[in-house]
Every structure is written in structure tokens, then in C-alpha cells.
Amino acid sequence: MPRENKVRQCLVSGELLPTETMIRFVVGPEDSLVTDVAGRLPGRGLWLSARRDMIETAAAKRLFSKAAHRSVRVPDNLADTVSELLKRRCLDMLGLAKRAGLTAIGADQVRSQAAAGQTAVLVEAADGSVAEREKMIAAVRDAPVIGAFARQDLGGAVGRVEAVHIGLAAGGLTSVFVTETARYEGVRTKTAPA
């Protein structure tokens, strides 16, 4: 479900940003930090921009404890944990989109979907053949392309061993998938040292 059009302040940058571009954390039992990727857990939210560097900075500077006005236990691998949670959320949504009949899987089905003008988003396996990916991107033309997942991850999400090309028709789940993938891509990428 898309979040309401709300804005929250990032603990690190101080910017007011739409919640769909951010990640919410809450302080859970025993003062441990809990990542709330769905934004539904009870408690006061501590918000960060969906970027790996923001998560790492907040943890390093103890900003969660400062914002909560108490000592908060933050896992050492917080950015990796958040990345995995967002990845799982995206792949689960892809599975829901399949069950909702919004997906075309495989080169032939995606080409047919594109020819009918029904491909709103193209999902390409990051580890697929570059030449094949370029052909599929050309066939779909103006649809946004998401290349954040490996073929085995995509396959597992849609009930196959692997999948390289997945077309998504327009729909609410497709919109949410695009939003969630943008958050995932911001967190999964390790920032190069300056």
C-alpha cells in the first residue's frame, strides 16, 4: 500500500522529504532499533532518507539515541539489514503482481505484452546477458527499466528457478514496486570512499 503523502525530517540531513523516499525506524523492546520498512509499527518513528550513507552516518554518530532521548542499541550491520529487508519487500511485491496477473515473464511474453502497449515497467535481471537486455529494452521503448535484482531472485519471486525479463502492466502494485525498488537501490549501493 502506498503511504499517504506525508513528509518527515531526515535525522541526518534535516531535510523534509516524502515518506515514500525514506525509511522508518522505531525503538523496540529492550531499547533495540527496529527497521520498519512498511511504516506500520507502533511507536515514535525515526526517519532517514533511503540512502546507505544516511543509515551509516546515523549509526556512527549515534543519532538514533539522540533523537529517542535514550540509549538505543543499533546493530553493527544496520545498512545491510535494511537492504535485505527492502529487497525481500520488493520481491514479495513482484510475487503479488504475478498473482494479480500483472506480469509477463520471459522474452516472448514480455515482447507480446510490449507489442500490445501494456508494459508499464520492465524488470531485467542484473546478471542477464547485456545484449539480450538491450534488445528487450529496445522492444519495450519508453517503459522505465529496473535492473536491481539477480535472475535467481527474480525467478524465486515469480515461482521459477530464474527469470531474466519481467514486464509489469500498469496497476497499484506496479507503482508500489517502483517506489520500493527506488528505496532499495538507494540503500543497497555502497558509497565509494571519498
Band of pLDDT at residue 4, cut at 50, 70 and 90? low
Residue 1 has pLDDT above 60, yes or no: no
Query: Where do the DSSP E strands lie in the chain?
Result: 7-9, 16-18, 22-27, 33-36, 46-49, 103-105, 121-124, 145-146, 165-168
Residues in a beta bridge with 146: 123
Q: How confident is the model at residue 3 (pLDDT cuts 50, 70, 90)?
A: very low
So what's the pLDDT on residue 189? 76
Q: How far apart are CA 61 and CA 184, in angstroms?
A: 23
Over range 142-152, report the average pLDDT: 95
Q: In this predicted model, what pLDDT tens digit does every residue of 89-133 receive, in sequence order? A: 999 999 999 999 999 999 999 999 999 999 999 999 999 999 999
Ordered structural domains, the chain, with CATH: 7-75 (3.30.1230.10), 82-188 (3.30.1330.30)
Predicted confidence band of residue 194 (pLDDT cuts 50, 70, 90): very low
Other CB atoms within a 10 A radius of the CB of residue 49 amount to 21
Nearest Cα to Cα of residue 178 among 152, 143, 140, 150? 143
Residues 6+ apart with CB under 8 A from 48: 10, 11, 12, 22, 23, 25, 54, 55, 58
CA dihedral 76, 152, 178, 143 (to 10 degrees): 150
* Res. 190: pLDDT tops 90: no
**What sign does the dihedral 181-92-77-57 (CA atoms) show?**
positive
Query: How many residues are present in the chain?
Result: 194
The amino acid that residue 117 corresponds to is G
Residue 163: the pLDDT is 96
CB 119 within 8 A of CB 139: no
pLDDT in tens, 59-95: 999 999 999 999 999 999 999 999 999 999 999 999 9
